[in-house]
Amino acid sequence: TYIRKYVRTFVRMYVRTIVRTYVRSFVRSFDRSFIRTYLRTYIRTYVRSLVLSYLPTYVRSFVIPYVRSFVRSFVRSFVRIYV
């Protein structure tokens, strides 16, 4: 288990560095698209955490898809206006 943990952390670090370098180059080439994706992921995670913290499980299964679609449409309009 210890070895597995070590391997896991190593892989994580490796992936992180790769992702970082990729993201940097990506940002240099496509600034706007990166901002869009970042906003999308941020808003999605935020909304999801709110939903998960405030709603019980039986409501979650119904609400989360609607919330997702709403967030997507909202982000699209937001991006059209500001970016």
Nearest to 36 by CA among 80, 70, 4, 2: 80
Does the pLDDT at position 71 exceed 80? no
56: DSSP letter: -
Q: What is the mean pLDDT of the chain?
A: 73
How far is it between the farthest Cα atoms of the chain?
51
Burial 62-74 (b: 16+ CB within 10 A, else e): eeeeebeeebeee
Nearest to 37 by CA among 76, 3, 10: 76
Instruction: Give the length of the chain.
Output: 83
pLDDT, tens digit (0-9, with 9 covering 90-100), for 19-56: 787 777 766 666 666 667 777 788 778 877 776 676 66
Sequence-distant (6+) residues with CB within 8 A of 14 are none
